[in-house]
Amino acid sequence: MTSVAIVTGSAGLIGAEATRFFHAQGMDVVGIDNDMRRKFFGDGASTAWSRAELERTLPRYHHVTADIRDTAEIDAVFARYGHSIAVVIHTAAQPSHDWAARDPATDFTVNANGTLALLEATRKHCPDAPFIYCSTNKVYGDTPNRLPLIEGETRWELDPTHRWAAHGIDESMSIDACTHSLFGVSKASADLMVQEYGRYFDMKTACFRGGCLTGPGHSGAQLHGFLSYLVKCAVTGEPYTVLGYKGKQVRDNIHSHDLITAFWNFYRNPRSAEVYNIGGSRHSNCSMIEAITICEKLTGRPMNWSYSDENRVGDHIWWIGDVRRFQDHYPDWHYTYDIQAILTEIHDAMIERTGDKR
């Protein structure tokens, strides 16, 4: 019997990348996605185009339009495939700081309760299947902002004498006594539950605490999708607003393909209750100003951008994650994209999608 990969959020950036990759390895893929991204961020952020592409190009892709909070429906999906399920890749989420504050109940139930429903279905129907959770560095709240940061011409940087300066922040950073944003709380709740199912029920689980996850498959919106939305504005001329920190805030950025190959490595040799910081690390990172400069070079014209002093609640001034723990466990994994390659690919895909060839 063919092995089955369950992928939640299958039409989103990471879900679609996982769907294509695991399908290419010979698996049947069952995608669970109800396009809540459209509800969160409007028609322009809908993933319907991505779902249509998956259904058109992947013969062993089976789409389920279900809400991950619906325990009965999720249980029915898992019961249908049972022990044929070889891996569960959970990427579905409400992903925005700002949106979470507008509707905390929806944010929490999608991110926390939805994850619990999936964990229970996995434990009941396919307990040996690795459970891969797409977590976030926002579980650390604004603790990174307490680091000794130095302002440079185009970016904030960590004091070079600090122990995290060379490789970035590792998993030993505390998640306590800080401002998380409501989004950070709901994701941290799910993160802890995934860990606990690994420890308490001896399941193979991993929380991948991502930096900025990006790539050409992102339906970027103002409230979520930093590089995708930035490039969209650069290509179309739409206005872009930089929020706080003089535009020098730093993000590490990992291409969706590189993240999925990390998932694949974990699937092939799973461990229990693991936590990994995963992102662009020192290999692939930029500040807002630096990203705008690259975009302007790609389009050949200035961006229509402005600045607001008001930063988002719980936002990071500087985040570069240390991925060495994952690399120690999976030494065959490596990056294929740096920041220039990421932005170039997003730019080319955005021109093709929008038809804007100015």
Domain boundaries, the chain: 4-354
**Between vectors from CA 321 to CA 32 and to CA 347, what angle results, nearest 5°?**
60
Q: What is the largest CA-CA distance in the chain?
A: 58
What are the structure tokens assigned to 3, written together? Answer: 């092995």
Could you read off the pLDDT of 159-184 as tens digits, one per residue? Answer: 999 999 999 999 999 999 999 999 99
Q: 217: which 2 tokens?
A: 């498959």
According to CATH, the topology of domain 4-354 is Rossmann fold (3.40.50)
For residue 98, what pLDDT is reported?
85
Is residue 41 scored above 90 in pLDDT?
A: no
Structure tokens at 286: 């930029």
**pLDDT confidence of residue 311:** 87
Cα separation, 228 vs 291, whole angstroms: 11
User: Which pLDDT tens digit goes with each residue over 249-307?
Assistant: 999 999 999 999 999 999 999 999 999 999 999 999 999 999 999 999 999 999 999 99
Closest alpha carbon to 286 in 337, 352, 357, 223:
337
Nearest one of 197, 198, 14 to 92, comparing CA atoms: 14
The pTM assigned to this predicted structure is 0.95
